[in-house]
């Protein structure tokens, strides 16, 4: 193998740049030429490739986002789109591809691998919902952004004896909400894996109020049935149910744009190096992730379409700590 390519796909995650840098520099160290693909799978279809030298990936590790650009590409979901991508890769003599992305992106890499093209995925999403890796690139930074917001909201909540609802991203996975809830000392955590009714949230806040706390903090995962909007609607219709007056903050994409934490830069560097090693060792159709602090590969076929289950013991911890 002489030439490989790397792309970032789906929602950007802090640390993607560090992963690109690691793929490029490990690839060059292994005697390969490395090409970057712009705008994810869309760039494969339009043949938007750029040769990357070591210096081209200098000074990017500390930046959030992805300097290659990312996209969600409908055309790549068709066989024709993927065939065009393979034709373009072959015409550039690119023999293998590294895909840095989350669940949807790795479904794309699996589909490409099934058509016989060598692909290795790198686990990268702020949702941390991918099987095959204990943590994914970006989630640590996203939790820290949520935490900073929570810490600040707690200050103003205490000053005004208010309750705050903070909604965090994560799709159908409650990992970010649960971790930010525990680390931020939330009184209530609402996640898709353990739904609470608005009445239950109100009861828990009321109990907090009755215990004499001067603030109430509810961390809500965006994927919960009773997300921040639903809860606010309920509390507006039932004023006084919680004891506190309520405000809501929806963090949204703010969580994606931060400078990557040390932990995300390290993870991205190790996974990027691991992906090139896997390709050089002749592996393909695998996801590179981290388990028990070891870089491991898992067949893409075993991870696509699945969501990593949450450790529900953490939910029990959150509840005990909220007392
Ligand atoms: O998958 C990452 C993520 O940030 C989710 O947490 C969120 O639901 C989604 O992407 C938002 O997608 P978009 O950037 O397309 O609005």
- Would you call 127 a catalytic residue per the annotation? yes
Percent of the chain with pLDDT over 90: 96
Section 76-93 average pLDDT:
97
Distances (CA, A) of 4 to 44, 69, 127, 253: 13, 18, 28, 31
Which of 34, 109, 122, 124 shows the shortest CA–CA distance to 77?
109
* Sequence-ordered strand ranges (E) for the chain: 3-8, 33-37, 49-52, 96-101, 119-123, 162-168, 188-190, 216-221, 245-250, 286-291, 294-299
- Classified as helix, coil or strand, 295 is strand
**Is pLDDT of 239 > 90?**
no
Model pLDDT for residues 90-136, shown as the tens digit of each residue: 999 999 999 999 999 999 999 999 999 999 999 999 999 999 999 99
C-alpha 191/C-alpha 222 separation (Å) is 8
Contact 171 CB / ligand 1 (< 6 Å): yes
Domain boundary assignment for the chain: 3-138+260-302, 139-256
From atom 10 of ligand 1, which residue's Cα is the shortest distance away? 11
Please tell me if the CB atom of residue 170 comes closer than 6 angstroms to any atom of ligand 1. yes
Ligand 1 pocket test target in 64, 130, 169 with most atoms within 8 Å of CB:
169
pLDDT for 103 equals 95
Q: Do domains 3-138+260-302 and 139-256 have the same CATH topology?
A: yes
Q: How far does residue 2's CA lie from ligand 1's centre (Å)? A: 35
**Alpha-carbon dihedral 107, 103, 250, 197, rounded to 10 degrees:** 100
The C-alpha atoms of residue 110 and residue 77 are separated, in whole angstroms, by 11
Q: What is the mean pLDDT of the chain?
A: 97
* Distance from residue 279's CA to the centre of ligand 1 (Å): 29
Could you give the maximum distance between any two Cα atoms of the chain, in Å? 69
pTM above 0.95, yes or no: yes
* Percent share of the chain, pLDDT over 70: 100
Nearest residue by C-alpha to atom 15 in ligand 1: 11
Phi, psi values for residue 183, rounded to 5°: -70, -25
Mean pLDDT in residue range 282-302: 98
> Edge-to-edge strand order for the sheet containing 3-8?
49-52, 33-37, 3-8, 96-101, 119-123, 286-291, 294-299
Residue nearest to atom 3 of ligand 1 (CA): 11
pLDDT bin (cut points 50, 70, 90) of residue 241 is confident
Q: What is the Å distance from ligand 1's center to 84 Cα?
A: 27
CA–CA gap between residue 303 and residue 256 (Å, rounded): 23
d(CA 171, ligand 1 centre) in Å = 7
Check pocket membership of 125 for ligand 1, CB cut-off 6 A. yes
139-256 topology per CATH: Rossmann fold (3.40.50)
Q: What is the pLDDT of residues 172-219, one digit of tens each?
A: 999 999 999 999 999 999 999 999 999 999 999 999 999 999 999 999
- The residues that bridge with 164 in the sheet, in sequence order, are 217, 247
pLDDT digits (tens, 9 = 90+) for 33-59: 999 999 999 999 999 999 999 999 999
Q: How far is the CA of 249 from the centre of ligand 1 (A)?
A: 17
- Start-to-end C-alpha separation, the chain: 58
Q: What number of helices (H) and strands (E) belong to the chain? A: 11, 11
Write down the catalytic residue from 127, 129, 140, 264.
127
Is domain 3-138+260-302 classified as CATH 3.40.50.1100? no
């Amino acid at each position: 193998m002489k030439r490989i390519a790397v792309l970032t796909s789906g929602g950007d995650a802090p640390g993607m740049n560090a992963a690109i840098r690691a793929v490029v520099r490990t690839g060059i160290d292994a005697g390969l030429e490395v090409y970057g693909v712009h705008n994810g799978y869309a760039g494969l279809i339009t043949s938007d490739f750029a040769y990357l030298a070591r210096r081209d990936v200098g000074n990017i590790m500390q930046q959030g986002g992805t300097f290659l650009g990312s996209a969600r590409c409908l055309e790549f979901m068709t066989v024709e789109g993927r065939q065009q991508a393979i034709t373009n890769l072959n015409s550039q003599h690119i023999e293998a591809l590294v895909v840095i992305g989350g669940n949807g992106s790795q479904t794309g890499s699996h589909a490409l691998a099934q058509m016989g093209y060598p692909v290795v995925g790198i686990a990268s999403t702020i949702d941390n919902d991918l099987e095959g890796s204990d943590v994914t690139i970006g989630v640590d930074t996203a939790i820290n952004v949520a935490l900073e917001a929570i810490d600040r909201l707690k200050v103003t909540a205490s000053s005004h004896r208010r309750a705050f609802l903070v909604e965090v991203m994560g799709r159908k996975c409650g990992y970010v909400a649960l971790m930010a809830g525990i680390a931020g000392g939330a009184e209530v955590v609402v996640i898709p894996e353990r739904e609470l009714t608005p009445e239950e949230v109100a009861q828990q806040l009321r109990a907090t109020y009755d215990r004499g706390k001067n603030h109430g903090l509810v961390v809500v995962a965006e994927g919960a049935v009773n997300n921040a909007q639903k809860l606010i609607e309920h509390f507006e219709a039932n004023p006084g149910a919680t004891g506190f007056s309520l405000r809501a903050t929806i963090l949204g994409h703010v969580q994606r744009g931060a400078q990557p934490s040390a932990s995300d830069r390290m993870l991205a560097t190790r996974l990027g190096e691991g992906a090139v090693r896997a390709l050089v060792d002749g592996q393909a159709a695998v996801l590179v992730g981290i388990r028990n602090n070891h870089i491991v590969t898992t067949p893409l076929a075993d991870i696509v379409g699945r969501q990593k289950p949450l450790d529900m013991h953490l939910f029990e911890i959150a509840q005990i700590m909220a007392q």
